[in-house]
Copies of this chain bind each other. A is one copy, B any other.
Amino acid sequence: MHTIGTLSKRTGTKVQTIRYYEQIGLMREPVRSSGGQRRYHDADLDRLAFIRHSRQLGFPLDAIRELLDLSDAPSRPCADADAIARRQLRQVELRIERLRALRKELKRMVDDCDGDSVAECRVLEVLRDHSECLTQHEEIGA
């Protein structure tokens, strides 16, 4: 049996975050000590490690929830798990593409400015007028 602090140290997760995961139903409710403190089994430690590692690989919490559910049914085919991972891969690739387009525009505006007065600053000119850009932009926050 482990305390929440032990889980925290062993997985590099803040104590509050573990409680948050419990609150949203991602971690199961653990048993409690006579004084009301959480006591975890090894299985909980594994589950938290899984969650954290999935987060480090960028999976959103609801995808992790699905993966955990799948992980509990060992005899089923793994097509669903693979599909989630491929979806995540596509998301990452999409974000890379978007950021590369941004980088291009930013690089260009920074490189083009000769560092004169604000009135002729290339950076501010481009920000004021999108027609100075080479590419279209994605929706904000997409």
Residues of A participating in the B interface, judged by any CB pair closer than 8 Å: 46, 49-50, 52-58, 67, 70-71, 73-79, 81-82, 84-86, 88-89, 92-93, 95-96, 99-100, 102-103, 105-107, 109-110, 113, 115-121, 123-124, 127-130, 137-138, 140
Q: Give how many copies assemble into the complex.
A: 2
Q: Assuming A85-B109, A99-B92, A99-B95, is B53 touching A128 (CB within 8 A)? A: yes
Q: Assuming A78-B121, A121-B78, is B57 touching A85 (CB within 8 A)? A: no
B115 touching A79 by the CB < 8 A rule? yes
Docked pose: A119 CA to B140 CA in angstroms: 40
B123 touching A110 by the CB < 8 A rule? no
Residue of B nearest to A84 (CB): B123
A124 touching B78 by the CB < 8 A rule? yes
B137 touching A110 by the CB < 8 A rule? no
Q: Assuming A82-B115, A118-B71, A137-B56, is B89 touching A107 (CB within 8 A)? A: yes
Which residues in B have their C-beta under 8 angstroms from that of A127?
50, 53-54, 57, 67
